[in-house]
Structure 1
Amino acid sequence: MSDEDAIAAVTKTLSGLILGALADVSGAGVDTKPLNELANGTRDKLVNIYLFQADVDGALRNADRLDLAPGETGDQPFPLVLHYLITPFVRHDPDLDAHRLLARAVRVLHGNAVLQRGELAAFAPESNVAKQLDRIRITWQPFGEKDIYSLWSAFQTPYRMSVAYEVSAVLIDSHRAPTAPVPVLKRGRNDEGPGVLAGVPLGLPALTAAVPPNNQPAVRLGEQVSLRGGGLSAQSAEVRLSHPLLPAPVVVPVAPGALTDNEARFIVGATGVPAGLWSVGLALTRQVIEGGVVRPIVAVTNEVPLAVAPRITHLPADVPQATDGSAVIDLTYTPAALPGQPVLLVFDGQAVPPDPPGTGAPRPADNPRFTVPHATKGRHLVRLRVAGVDSLLIDRSGARPSFDPTQSVTVI
């Protein structure tokens, strides 16, 4: 945290940065005078840094200290937002020379939007503000006509061209040391508290996650998914996949031997499962005996999310670059997007929508055409995004992850 010299340390650091930016201006300096005293100084050229207001950062006012371990308590630091007015002053030429000084000050503050710890320690070694955990940021502060009028009227001095910045947050620490109690080894007899055991209560079935193969973020058609949870034992089970654009769930039976008390495995079907984000649950059929009669009951688990990714089935290895620098990519994929599902081609880091329906001959949903602008020559990685889920660009089946070589094109 910061000590009581933190405000002065920030002002000195700003002054030092701006002074360095004025090194090529003969006789120029930096000052921190009130606005009505600018003309009384000894320098003919200077940039004045005036701290005209200090506010409290409301977002950090009640935040916990970052240097406290769990169970420790201490006074929160006082988070200050400092407002500075940057004013260039040239005694004999108040126009163009002053504008040049202002531009140098703005450039150096823009290039140092976050005050580095080394800068704070170098310009103000007397303060420990460089050691505070939160970084100190410099932000341009819009200054309206009313603000200008109010500020300069208060100093009863003619207006000079100025800009404002806010510097936040400067954390002023309390002198009171935090309390760090010794960890508790055992609760006393009269304060034992309830016993807690992690698990599924009363044997009710519950799912915790749907895990695609090879730690991938999504599953593709024909691949196996592992549903993990607890209390899943049953005579038989079926998976129920729900999609917001389908009127009814897709039901997939769980094969014998693929169901244990903690896991159910199933294969996503080759049809009827479009790409996108699904909800998946289990319906478990169990046998109960009532009055000497065996009858089945069905227990339904909660639902967990499952992403289904499209698979690019054909992608040209080489595409020519047009005279305007664009490249046209035709591809096919499965499963085809449902009406209303957005489709994008991610070309390296550029998202490209498919060509409009009126461009060229009508095309099926699983065979879109993309015109990539500014496609530079060379090899590019591509992904197909359907309803927010990307085709699997990274192959994680080996010892190390690698890019899928089939999901790249070369612009020639």
Structure 2
Amino acid sequence: MTNPLAIAAVTAVFKDLLENRLVSDLITTSVGDVSVTALPPDRISIGTDERAQINLFLYQVTQNRNADWTSRELRQHRSQLTGEALSKKLPLALDLHYLLTVYGAKDFQTEILLGYVMQLLHDTSILTQDSIYTALKNASTVNISSVLSQALARVSISDLAQQIGQIKISPEFFNMEETSKIWSILQTQYRPSIGYQVSMVVIDSQSQNNI
């Protein structure tokens, strides 16, 4: 059964990708120490306290446009693998929409960070089950007192990675009107940002009713 932790798990995997593949010696040489967070933008320190930072914020969840047939295919496949009866309810097939924002107090820091981010996610648009497992394992051990670590401690990380399977990351480019609406809703000062869609997170029904 696909775990309801799938949404948080995908955010953790995305954050881990940025931390371990982007915040490298090369980018540190260019802009100094860089932190990666997954916070609402209004909780990021800006102005005199601003630092080089990449923030990942899940701002919207939508149903995948191929949800009906994809969910049926996945459900049949998992039933064959596990031998479990099919539930009456189709699993939720979701797309996660993230706002990725860069911060910096010095000239050109934000431009450099944004360029590195976009290049990385262009080159690494598909995350495999193995990379998902590694990222979740890291997330569960880096800070064992965190909310996510405690949640992951209650499940099998191997099973969770297998259930997520594979995710695709693709850019979403906003026009000025869309950008203005998003930042008006967030009620914080604008910083350079880009949208990314992660497809497809599947969450099975918890119903025990079987076909």
Q: TM class by shorter-chain length?
A: 0.7 to 0.9
User: Would the alpha carbon gap of residues 99 and 133 (structure 1) be closer, same or farther in structure 2, given more than 3 Å must change?
Assistant: closer
| Match of residue 146 from structure 1 | 177
**CA distance 1:3–1:43, change in 2 (3 Å):** farther
Match of 2:192 among 161, 184, 194: 161
Task: State the match for 1:76 in structure 2.
Answer: 90
Deviations 1:185-204, CA, capped at 9 Å, x for gaps: xxxxxxxxxxxxxxxxxxxx
Question: Are the structure 2 counterparts of residues 45 and 131 from structure 1 closer, same or farther at C-alpha, using a change threshold of 3 Å?
Answer: same
Structure-2-length-normalised TM-score: 0.75
Between the aligned partners of 1:111 and 1:72, the Cα distance in structure 2 is: 39
Distance 1:33 1:178 in 2: 37
Aligned-residue CA RMSD (Å): 2.5
Could you list the runs of 5+ residues in structure 1 that have no partner in the other structure?
181-412
Match of 2:146 in 1: none
- Does the aligned pair in 1 maintain the 2:167–2:200 contact within 8 Å? yes
Q: Deviations over 1:247-297 (max 9, x none)?
A: xxxxxxxxxxxxxxxxxxxxxxxxxxxxxxxxxxxxxxxxxxxxxxxxxxx
For residues 157-196 of structure 1, what are the structure 2 equivalents within 5 Å?
A: 157-177=188-208, 179=210
The aligned amino acid for 1:77 is P
Which protein has the bigger strand share? 1
**Aligned position for 2:149:** none
Q: Offset at 1:167?
A: 0.2
- Rounded to whole Å, the distance in 1 between the matches of 2:190 and 2:196 is 18
Query: For the Cα contact (< 8 Å) 1:3–1:173, is it kept in 2?
Result: yes
Output aligned runs, 1:361-380, within 5 Å.
none
Who is 1:22 aligned against? 23
* CA positional deviation for 1:86: 0.9
How many residues are paired up? 178
**Secondary structure, counterpart of 2:45 in structure 1:** helix
1:157-236 counterparts in 2 under 5 A? 157-177=188-208, 179=210
d(CA) in 2 for partners of 1:2 and 1:165? 23
Shift of 1:40: 5.7
Secondary structure of the residue that 1:175 maps to in structure 2? coil
* Distance of 1:120 and 1:165 partners within structure 2: 18
Q: Where does residue 107 of structure 1 map in the other structure?
A: 119
> 1:61: how far off?
3.4
Cα distance in 2 for partners of 1:73, 1:155 equals 41
Larger radius of gyration: 1
The superposition leaves residues 283-323 of structure 1 with CA deviations (integer Å, 9 ceiling, x where unpaired) of: xxxxxxxxxxxxxxxxxxxxxxxxxxxxxxxxxxxxxxxxx
Q: Look up the match of 1:56.
A: 63
Aligned partners of 1:27 and 1:43 also within 8 Å:
no
Instruction: Note closer, same or farther for the CA distance 1:177–1:113 as it changes in structure 2 (3 Å cut).
Output: farther
Partner of 1:322: none
Q: Which residue of 2 aligns with 1:38?
A: 44
* Contact 2:102–2:113 (CA under 8 A) maintained in structure 1: yes
Secondary structure of 2:35's aligned partner: strand
- The CA deviation at 1:134 is 5.3
Q: Is the 8 A contact 1:72 1:178 kept in 2?
A: no
Q: Is the 8 A contact 1:29 1:43 kept in 2?
A: no
Structure 1 residue 73, shift from structure 2 partner: 2.6
Q: Is 2:112 the counterpart of 1:96?
A: no
Change (3 A) 1:72 1:53: same
**What TM-score, normalized to structure 1?**
0.40
Over residues 38-65 of structure 1, what are the superposed CA-to-partner deviations in whole Å (9 max), with x where a residue is unaligned?
2269772110001110111131135311
C-alpha distance in 2 between matches for 1:81 and 1:12: 15
**Alpha-carbon separation, structure 2, partners of 1:124 and 1:157:** 31
2:143 maps to none
More helix as a share of residues: 2
Alignment gaps of 5+ in structure 2? 138-151
Report what 2:101 is aligned to: 87
Q: Which runs of 4+ in 1 moved over 6 A?
A: none
